[in-house]
Structure 1
Amino acid sequence: MQTNSIRTSLAIAVLAVATLSGCAGMSHRDQSTVGGAAIGGVAGAVLTGGSVGGTLGGAAIGGVIGNQIAK
């Protein structure tokens, strides 16, 4: 059952990245924030076995890191 949760989380993350990658008007910092959130969400899902809290927490932390790296 956890495998399905991980696959679902990964599919959502990939879909989010694909959807947001079409935003050509985004600044470099915005793009880094979105990329960090996507990577963090996937990492959080994998590390916590697909839990929603882990996915959202990873996305939040990844977004902050991506934002700060692009300064």
Structure 2
Amino acid sequence: MPALRVLMVGVAILGLAGCSGLSRTQQRALSGGAIGAAAGVGIAAATGGSSLLLGGLLGGAGGAVVGAVTH
């Protein structure tokens, strides 16, 4: 579980740090991807999933798409 916390904090920091100088659409896509990745990993860990990486990838991709198309 400590590795999960480190990963989630790292994703949050990178997501927030990368937002300067981006358009609003790019900011939403980046933050949506970061939030989605953290949620995917969290859900995979909470349900006993064997692939935290897959949960993070799917959550990140979904979050980025939703963030990019949301106005």
How many residues are matched? 66
**TM-fit CA distance, 1:56:** 1.3
The alignment yields a C-alpha RMSD, in angstroms, of 1.5
Tell me the SS of whatever aligns to 2:32. Answer: helix
**TM-fit CA distance, 1:9:** 2.1
- Which structure 1 residue ranges, 4+ long, deviate > 3 Å from structure 2? none
Query: Which residue of structure 2 lines up, in the alignment, with residue 53 of structure 1?
Result: 54
Question: Between the two proteins, what is the percent identity of the paired residues?
Answer: 26
Give the TM-score of the pair, scaled to structure 1. Answer: 0.80
Give the TM-score of the pair, scaled to structure 2. Answer: 0.80
Per-residue deviation, residues 3-50 of structure 1 (Å, max 9, x unmatched)? 1232132022112123213x2x21110011011001101100100017
Structure 1: give runs of 5+ residues left out of the alignment: none
